[in-house]
Every structure is written in C-alpha cells, then in structure tokens.
Amino acid sequence: ESAQQVISFCSTLCMHYYCYWPMETQVLDGSSDLLLSLAKRGPQMRELLTSSQSFQQLVLLHSITAGMRHNASQSELDATLHAKGNTNGAPPVALVRGYQRLPYGQKSRILTALLVASSDSQNTTATAMLNECLNSVQTAFSLFIQALSSKQVTPNDVNAQDMACLCVELYGGIARASEMAESERIPPFVTPSLPHLSGLMVYYAEDLAICEKLLLFFRDYAEQFVAMLDRDQSIALFSSSAELLKSYSTNHCSARVVVKKTSATEADAEEEQSYSDVLCAIQLLIHLGSKDFIDVFNTNNKSGGGVDSTQVTDMIFFGLQQIIPLMTQGLLQFPSLCTQYFSLVGFMMDTYPEKVCVLPFDLFNALLESLLFGMSHLDPFVSKSSLHGISGITREHLQKKCLDVHLSQHPDIFDNCSRRLLQEVVFHPSLIWDRLEPAGMCLLPLAALDIHRFANVVNGLSQHVCPPEHQGRLHTAFQSLVQPEVLDKVCSGGYEGRKNRIRFKKDFNE
C-alpha cells in the first residue's frame, strides 16, 4: 500500500508538471525520465503504475490530444472529447489544454514511458492502455493522410505542417519503446504506416524540421527493432527507407553545399549540428545493413524466413547512391559525419566491392574521391577504412575486370589512386605509422594491376618528392619491393597467397 502511494504521488507530480508547466524543459525532461525509469523496474512496478489514477489520466490525456495541434480551437477540443465518448470521465479542460501545449518532442518521450509501463500482456488493464496509446496515434495519422490524399488540406498549410510534426514525433516515441515487455508487438503496428510516413518526405523534404524527424524515426526504428522483423516487415522497412532517402536526396543534393571554414570549436559544433539530418541518414543505412548479419546468426530463424542477403546489400547501395552526392569534402571535415560515413563506406567497399564496380561512373567517381580524401585523414579509423575500401575495389577488378567499362573512358583511375596514395600517405612528411600496414596492403593490388603503369607513376612522383641524389635509391627500393612472383599471387587464397602478402608487407615496412 505504501509503495502504491509513492508511485501514485510520482505519477500525479509528473502529470501536474506536464499540464501546468508545459514550457519548463528541464522539469519536463526530469518527469519523463522518472516515469520511464519506474516503468523499466519490472512487472511489479509497472502494475503499480497502471493502477495509479494519475497514470490512467495521463493515458487518457495522450489519447485525447494525439491528434490535436498546438493551435487547435475550442470547438476541435469539444469534438475530440465527444468522439472519445469520455466527456463524463474526461480530465478537466485545464489539464487537457496544458497537455496539448506540451512540445511535441516531450509528448514523444511521455508516450515511450506510457508504452513501456503498460506493456505487460498478462495485465488486461495495461493491455487496454497500450492499445489505447497506439490506436490514438494511428487514428490521428490516418485522418491526416486521408486529408492530404483527398486534398482537404495542402501540405504547405501551417496546420498541416504542425500536424505532420506531431504525428512523426509520436511515431518516434513508439520507435524508442523497444525496452517494453514483448516488444515484438510494435512492428505489426508500425509496418502498415511506414509507406505513408516515408511518403511525407515528398511533401516536406525542404522543411528541415519535419525532414529530420522522419529520418530520426526511421533510424530509431531500424536500430531498435530490425533484429526482430520478419521477412515481410523487413522488406516493408527497406522499401519505405529507400523511398525516404530518394526523396530526401532529390531535394537536398543541390541545396546542401558546404565548405567548412576554420572557426572556434563551439561554432564548429553548432555548424555540424545543422547537418545532423545527413548524419541520421547515414546511421539509418548502417542499422539497416546489420539485418544481413543478424539473420545469418539468428539461430531461431531455422525456417529460412529471413531476408535474403542480396536484398539487404541492394538496399544499402541504393541508399548509398542517394547519400554520396551529399557528402562534399566540406561535410567530411565534420568529425561525427566523417566517422559514420567511412564506417559505412569502408565496410561496404571491403565486403561488397562487386556492387561498387557496377555503379554509374559519376557515382563511382564521387565514392572513390571520398575514399581518396579519407585515406590521409588524421583519424586512424577513417584512414584505415578508406584504405581498406580502395584495396577492396582494386582486388575486385584484378580478379574480375569489372571496371573495364569505366577504364575504357577514364584509363587513369588507378594511376590516380596510386599517385595519391604514395604522395599523400606513404611519402607524406608526417607519415603516421598506425596506417602503414593498410597502406601497404592497398598499394599491393594497385601495383599488381599493371606494373608498367605503376612504374611510370613512381618515376613521375620521384621527381617531386625526392632530391636528385636520392631518386636512384628510391627506384632501387621499388624494384626490390615489386617482385613479379609476388604480384602474380596477390589474389591467391590459402597459404601461398598469405605467404606472398606477408612477404610484400615485410618488404614495404623496410
């Protein structure tokens, strides 16, 4: 009984903070953290929460205001209360109005706490609350989509934009509720709405507030639920994500051009924050890519009902094609953007180089240029990822000649890679030793492609990086390094291939 009193007091306090102090951010954050912390403490605590009258009122407040904009009129409020059929047991209008004024981001956080707290399926009261929370969001979103489809409202209308923000934020709250009990109940609810949510990007790609909220929802949903999605749910997520990124890229490729200038650290962080939507899109692709490995190692999936590996890689490379035009060298100077981008690109190039080689030349060249930019980056992770990516592409062409079409029009692709690798990494005055090994393993397949062209690159470069008296020593060193019997076995597997790669690495380090 004493525990119930404490929990009731906490939920009542949170409800009053929400309704009477809706603009006090720190107070609201603390209240939402408190509710979520209590909800995660186990089934007994959740039962105490759902038994609290204040918590039940919070659920009712969410249900009433799920489709109410900040500027909703009194007549809209009255109509909503009448439609809910709860005019007798409804909270006071002052509480409803206060809850309605809450920032949409706070409503999202509260919804997450409500879902986690009411997630025990054995408790019929809690199950009813859970369904009420979810259905109110679905109903509000469905009515909004119907209004857009029937042109009852125009996308550029202020009320429509406000409603889009509210709906996307609430779905974001659902996407972050993976800590609830039996969270596998969320994907069947969310999946039918995914095409409509991604379709909002067509209308609101130029509105960065709504655009970023959409990207955040898809990123969080992929991060927290991709492991439990079945084949149909995964394909729905992949398809919707592809359409989302396509609409996003179409509207932002020409608009988001940046050349980062030297400035104070605080100003840099603020400027980087303005490109958080790009970072979010990259993280979405990273989380979607994990589905391939989750299904491979999921021992419960013995029926073969997982997503085919090619479907995952095709989706990631389609998304990558949408992201590449956005990644200018200016954007790559932002640390978090740079690290996440090369985390995705370096892994995909090294693991699936065959997909890269069939890209249209403009996209392939942009991707290669970003790797060449990254190989001399100060961050060792970025530089190693880039070097592994270039090495993967080169080995793939060495084995399958998959870049012959591009080379017929641009024969100096690999010459440029060799030249920049030697000039910007190997012969750089401040060579960083932690990337020496990946640099050598990248240089090996480049030399094996065409030893004569590689020799011409070395000869031309030696005149710029070495004084005349040292050029002879440099040529001798390269002749001893580039041995035909080693280069012929670059792509060999097994012991023989490994032995020759170790030999080259040893000679390169010396």
Task: Kindly indicate the confidence band of residue 351, based on its pLDDT and cuts at 50, 70 and 90.
Answer: confident
HSE-up of residue 203 (Cα within 13 Å, Cβ side): 22
Task: Kindly indicate the confidence band of residue 360, based on its pLDDT and cuts at 50, 70 and 90.
Answer: confident
Say what the alpha-carbon torsion angle 123, 128, 130, 135 is, to the nearest 10 degrees: 160
- Number of helices followed by number of strands (H, E) in the chain: 27, 0
Q: Which amino acid is at 387?
A: L
Residue closest to 64 by CA, chosen among 35, 98, 38, 30: 98
| φ/ψ of residue 72, rounded to 5 | -65, 140
Count of CB atoms within 10 A of residue 84's CB? 15
Across the range 1-22, mean pLDDT stands at 91
Convert the pLDDT of each residue in 144-171 to its tens digit. Answer: 999 999 999 999 999 999 999 999 999 9
Whole-number CA gyration radius for the chain: 28
Task: Kindly indicate the confidence band of residue 116, based on its pLDDT and cuts at 50, 70 and 90.
Answer: very high
pLDDT exceeding 90 applies to what percent of the chain?
A: 42
pLDDT exceeds cutoff 80 at 339: yes
Token reading at 386: 């880039």
**Polymer length of the chain:** 510
Token reading at 320: 């990558």
Please say whether the beta carbons of 430 and 468 come within 8 A.
no
Across the range 433-448, mean pLDDT stands at 80
- Give just the sign of the alpha carbon dihedral 245, 247, 250, 251: negative
First to last CA, the chain: 76
Token reading at 242: 């592809």
CA distance 470 to 155: 68
Q: Distance of CA 303 to CAs 235, 289, 299, 300, 307, Å?
A: 17, 21, 10, 8, 12
Across the range 248-265, mean pLDDT stands at 58
Q: Which amino acid is at 216?
A: L
Across the range 335-345, mean pLDDT stands at 87
Please say whether the beta carbons of 287 and 319 come within 8 A.
no
Report the alpha-carbon angle 381-212-230, nearest 5: 75
pLDDT at position 501 = 57
pLDDT exceeds cutoff 80 at 235: yes
- Give the list of residues 6+ apart from residue 346 with CB closer than 8 angstroms, or none: 371, 374, 384, 385, 386, 388, 389
pLDDT at position 93 = 85
Q: What predicted TM-score, i.e. pTM, was given to this entire model?
A: 0.85
Across the range 495-500, mean pLDDT stands at 52
Least confident among 52-66, 148-162, 221-235, 272-286: 272-286
Token reading at 25: 């951010």
| φ/ψ of residue 410, rounded to 5 | -135, 80
69 three-class SS: coil
Across the range 460-485, mean pLDDT stands at 67
Least confident among 287-301, 347-361, 416-430, 460-474: 287-301
Q: Distance of CA 180 to CAs 113, 121, 151, 300, 489, Å?
A: 9, 11, 37, 21, 54
Please say whether the beta carbons of 285 and 344 come within 8 A.
yes
Helical pair 194-204 and 208-225, crossing angle rounded to 10 deg:
150
pLDDT at position 259 = 43
- Give me the residue label for tokens 């759902």: 50
Task: Kindly indicate the confidence band of residue 188, based on its pLDDT and cuts at 50, 70 and 90.
Answer: very high
Mean pLDDT of the chain: 83
